[in-house]
A and B are shown apart, each in its own frame.
Chain A
Amino acid sequence: GAGVSQTPSNKVTEKGKYVELRCDPISGHTALYWYRQSLGQGPEFLIYFQGTGAADDSGLPNDRFFAVRPEGSVSTLKIQRTERGDSAVYLCASSLKPTGTSPSEQFFGPGTRLTVL
């Protein structure tokens, strides 16, 4: 079946602009995660959704970053007033709902490479 898809694959924008990044999870996966991966670093947790609600948004760096998942499927990461430091690859992952102490496998999308000029 289809994996996690992310659009666009590349986004170039100017400092101060607003951007939206989209994630389509695997059908039936209720858990959805956003990560940011800067050059030479590991992915950095941003936010976790279980269904429509953000269960943990402690990784969002500041209030310019916001994410939604209104119908419990597709999610959009929104960045306002972009800064050059926001340049990174933004990764989305989805999984079945974690149970107890056994986390479900996360399936990652290919990422969106954001460049802020």
Chain B
Amino acid sequence: AQSVTQLDSHVSVSEGTPVLLRCNYSSSYSPSLFWYVQHPNKGLQLLLKYTSAATLVKGINGFEAEFKKSETSFHLTKPSAHMSDAAEYFCVVKTSGTYKYIFGTGTRLKVLA
């Protein structure tokens, strides 16, 4: 069975400091992994995806994530937070051969001036 755990419901960082949003997954077969961002009153937007190619994936707005099979993790990072990064972030897993995307419960990122 597939599942995804976002380890922090809320993360606060100061502007200009690094961001780390943690995600662990469980999947029976080769997973595809995604990070989505949801800004207030806006639709979900894809940040990046991993689909069994390079384990370090670069996304939009300076975000990147590293797939670590041994740790079943797919943490999202950004070297320097910007005020506009404040939003809700969702880690998502999809197992090969299925159509079901399983979302985590989300991490709310707050960026302090």
Give the dominant DSSP class at B's interface: loop
Which of A4, A43, A103 sits near B51, CB closer than 8 Å?
A103
A102 within 8 Å of B (CB atoms): yes
- Given the complex, which residues of B lie within 8 Å of A111, measured CB to CB? 43
Known A3-B43, A101-B32; judge A56-B100 contact (CB<8 A). yes
- Given the complex, which residues of B lie within 8 Å of A13, measured CB to CB? none
Please report A residues at the B interface, Cβ cutoff 8 Å: 3-4, 33, 35, 40-45, 48, 50, 55-56, 58-59, 91, 93, 98, 101-103, 105-111
- Given the complex, which residues of B lie within 8 Å of A102, measured CB to CB? 32, 51
Which of B46, B49, B105 sits near A42, CB closer than 8 Å?
B105
CB contacts between A and B, total, < 8 Å: 58
A4→B51 CA distance, assembly (Å)? 24
Known A105-B46, A111-B43; judge A44-B32 contact (CB<8 A). no
Cβ distance A54 to chain B, nearest Cβ, rounded Å: 10
Cβ distance A97 to chain B, nearest Cβ, rounded Å: 11
Which stretch in B13-21, B64-72, B75-83, B90-98 binds the other chain? Answer: B90-98
> Which 4 pairs from chain A and chain B are nearest by CB?
A42-B103, A108-B44, A48-B99, A108-B43
Contact B30 A101 (CB under 8 A): yes
Q: Which residue of A lies closest to B108 (CB)?
A: A40
Contact B51 A55 (CB under 8 A): no
Known A41-B106, A103-B32, A103-B49; judge A98-B99 contact (CB<8 A). yes
A98→B100 CA distance, assembly (Å)? 12
